[in-house]
Structure 1
Amino acid sequence: MNDIELKAYLTQRVLSFSQSWNEIENNLYAKYQAEEEALRKAVPETEFHYAERTDWFALLNEQISPLFDGFCTDKPRVYGGKVRNSFGFPSKFNGCDHPLELLVNLKHKSRAEIYVKTNTHFEDEYLFIVLKKADEWRIDSYKNRRYGNEKWSTQIL
């Protein structure tokens, strides 16, 4: 695979991962909002009522687990990883669905950085670190920044 093909492949991998994550998170958030609205309508505000709620975190963990298996390096992730206790709006990789700019920097034969600039209200930018392990390219970590800030913030994957 030449450099142009490799850059296209890495870009596709990162975008597929981030878009799949966003789709899962946005879908669950919409269902969560609908469930909460239905519960509010079912019970008058003056009454206390316990209602069984969906375990949204279990569903999130179940759905993102294959993303880690298919796209990410297999390393211990003390925080994050396949077990999550939060999701919300905007989604984790907000704006990666329609990036303004994509750049791939091949640092050396087994490391690349994929830069994604988005068109969001927050002016989100992402920097994915992708490593080649056992002849396979996998996302190892990512950083982000907002509002044109110069400093990258390391994020939990």
Structure 2
Amino acid sequence: MEQINLEQTEFRSESDLKSYLVSFVLEYASTMNRIEMETFLKQEAGKTKSSDLFEEYKQKYLPVFTAYCTDKKRAYGGQAGSFGCPTKYDGIEKYTEDNVVFKSSNRAEVYLKTDNDFKSEYLFVMVRKKGLWRIDSAKERWFNSSWRNIIL
């Protein structure tokens, strides 16, 4: 996946902005999945102490989180709390459907549907502050159930 410009503020059309927002979310989720899977595989190999794994995970996780997510105070999120398999955004890299709905000029919802084992769907709330779009919150659902908040 081609790396996107996180600081892009001007778009030629609404279609370009929608493409940017989908790419932004995909890059964030794919990067987080990769970090999580790499850490999980190291744990499975059993050659690294658990405390060292969490520290390594944290060192990789935090810069990505800071670059892609809003800086609002979070009671539970914004920390490298856990990793595992399947990853948090399992299947998102091979999404089958996307949609972007603008709730206002500074707020949008990015929807991604997957065809993984859980038929996962993800909904990311994007907020624009000072001209920059960032992920503010996210939800998921499996098998067309009710939406559940994801702790970012």
Q: Which residue of 2 aligns with 1:156?
A: 151
Question: Cα offset for 1:80?
Answer: 2.0
CA contact (8 A) 2:35 2:60 kept: yes
RMSD over aligned CA atoms reads 1.2
Larger Rg: 1
Q: Which residue of 2 aligns with 1:97?
A: 93
Q: Percent identity?
A: 39
Q: Which residue of 2 aligns with 1:17?
A: 28
Q: Which residue of 1 aligns with 2:133?
A: 137
Q: Which residue of 2 aligns with 1:29?
A: 40
TM-score (norm 2): 0.88
TM-score (norm 1): 0.85
Q: Distance between the aligned counterparts of 1:111 and 1:95, measured in 2?
A: 25
Segments of 4+ moved more than 2 angstroms: none
Question: Cα offset for 1:75?
Answer: 1.0
Q: Does residue 116 of the first structure (1) align with residue 112 of the second (2)?
A: yes
For residues 85-125 of structure 1, give each alpha carbon's deviation from its aligned partner in whole angstroms, at most 9, with x where no partner exists: 31101001001111011111111100000001011111111
Q: Distance between the aligned counterparts of 1:131 and 1:91, measured in 2?
A: 25
CA contact (8 A) 2:98 2:113 kept: yes
Structure 2 counterparts to residues 41-120 of structure 1, below 5 A: 53-54=49-50, 55-81=52-78, 83-120=79-116
Alignment size in residue pairs: 140
For residues 42-90 of structure 1, give each alpha carbon's deviation from its aligned partner in whole angstroms, at most 9, with x where no partner exists: xxxxxxxxxx714211111110111122111011112121x23311010
Q: Distance between the aligned counterparts of 1:87 and 1:77, measured in 2?
A: 19
Query: Which SS does the other structure have where 1:68 is aligned?
Result: helix
Q: Distance between the aligned counterparts of 1:85 and 1:154, measured in 2?
A: 16
Query: Which SS does the other structure have where 2:99 is aligned?
Result: strand
Q: Distance between the aligned counterparts of 2:54 and 2:119, measured in 1?
A: 28
CA contact (8 A) 2:62 2:80 kept: no
